[in-house]
Amino acid sequence: MVCRICSREVVEVLDLGYSPPANSLLDFQEQKIASFPLVLQYCKSCSNLQLKDCLESNELYKHYFYLTPNSTTLNEHYEYLTNFLISKKYISKDSKVLEIGSNVGNYLSHIRKFVKETIGVDPAENIAKLANAKGIKTICDFFSFDFAQNLKKSNGEYDSIIARHCFAHNSSPHDLLKGAKEVLSKDGFVIIENAYALNTIENNEFDQIYHEHMFYYSIQSISVALEMNGLKLVDILISLVHGGSIVFIAEHIKEKNLVSNSVETHLEYEKSRLNEYSISNFSNNAFKLKKDLKNMINISNKKNNKIYTYGATAKGNTLLNFVGLDYKNIATCIDSTNIKQGKYLPGSKIKILNENFAFDNPPDCFLLTAWNYKDEIITKVRDMGNVDSTFIVPFPKLHVI
Ligand SMILES: [Zn+2]
What is the 388 CA–ligand 1 centroid distance (Å)? 49
Query: Using an 8 Å Cβ cutoff, are 240 and 74 in contact?
Result: no
What is the 346 CA–ligand 1 centroid distance (Å)? 32
Q: Which of 10, 32, 40 is nearest to 211 (CA)?
A: 40
Q: Which of 169, 223, 207 is nearest to 59 (CA)?
A: 169
Residue 2: which residues within 8 A CB-CB, separation 6 or more? 8, 9, 10
Q: What is the pLDDT of residue 243?
A: 62
What is the 166 CA–ligand 1 centroid distance (Å)? 20
What is the 281 CA–ligand 1 centroid distance (Å)? 21
Residue 247: which residues within 8 A CB-CB, separation 6 or more? 81, 84, 191, 192, 193, 236, 237, 238, 239
What is the 81 CA–ligand 1 centroid distance (Å)? 29
The conformation of residue 382, written as its DSSP 8-state character, comes to: H
Do the bridges between strand 36-42 and strand 11-19 make them parallel or antiparallel, or are there none, so unpaired? antiparallel
| Residue pLDDT, tens place only, 61-115 | 655 666 666 667 778 889 999 999 999 999 999 999 999 999 989 999 999 999 9
What is the 10 CA–ligand 1 centroid distance (Å)? 7
Distance (Å, whole) CA 311 – CA 316: 7
What is the 30 CA–ligand 1 centroid distance (Å)? 41
The conformation of residue 350, written as its DSSP 8-state character, comes to: P
What is the 383 CA–ligand 1 centroid distance (Å)? 48
The CATH number assigned to the domain with range 68-264 reads 3.40.50.150
What is the 61 CA–ligand 1 centroid distance (Å)? 27
What is the 174 CA–ligand 1 centroid distance (Å)? 13
What is the 48 CA–ligand 1 centroid distance (Å)? 5
Query: Using an 8 Å Cβ cutoff, are 366 and 389 in contact?
Result: yes
What is the 260 CA–ligand 1 centroid distance (Å)? 24
Q: Which parts of the chain have pLDDT scores under 50?
A: none
What is the 167 CA–ligand 1 centroid distance (Å)? 17
Instruction: Find residue 358's DSSP bridge partners.
Output: none
Distance (Å, whole) CA 268 – CA 221: 14
State the burial class of residue 86 (Cβ atoms within 10 Å of its Cβ: 0-12, 13-18, 19+): middle
SS3 239: strand
What is the 277 CA–ligand 1 centroid distance (Å)? 17
What is the 267 CA–ligand 1 centroid distance (Å)? 16
Residue 390: which residues within 8 A CB-CB, separation 6 or more? 364, 365, 366, 400, 401
Q: At what angle do helices 219-227 and 261-273 cross, to 10 degrees?
A: 120
For 363, phi then psi, to 5°, come to -85, 175
Do the bridges between strand 96-100 and strand 117-122 make them parallel or antiparallel, or are there none, so unpaired? parallel
Mean pLDDT score of the chain, rounded to an integer? 92
Distance (Å, whole) CA 348 – CA 324: 8
What is the 34 CA–ligand 1 centroid distance (Å)? 30
Query: Using an 8 Å Cβ cutoff, are 131 and 154 in contact?
Result: no
- Domain residue ranges in the chain: 68-264, 278-400
What is the 395 CA–ligand 1 centroid distance (Å)? 28
Class of domain 278-400 as given by CATH: alpha beta
SS3 397: coil
What is the 3 CA–ligand 1 centroid distance (Å)? 5
SS3 372: helix
Query: Using an 8 Å Cβ cutoff, are 358 and 388 in contact?
Result: no
SS3 11: strand
| Residue pLDDT, tens place only, 160-172 | 999 998 888 888 8
Distance (Å, whole) CA 116 – CA 111: 10
What is the 45 CA–ligand 1 centroid distance (Å)? 5
Same fold, 68-264 and 278-400: yes
Number of H helices, E strands in the chain: 13, 17
What is the 273 CA–ligand 1 centroid distance (Å)? 17
SS3 19: strand
What is the 317 CA–ligand 1 centroid distance (Å)? 28
**DSSP E strands, 113-230:** 117-122, 138-140, 158-164, 184-195, 215-216
What is the 50 CA–ligand 1 centroid distance (Å)? 9
Do the bridges between strand 184-195 and strand 245-252 make them parallel or antiparallel, or are there none, so unpaired? antiparallel
What is the 218 CA–ligand 1 centroid distance (Å)? 11
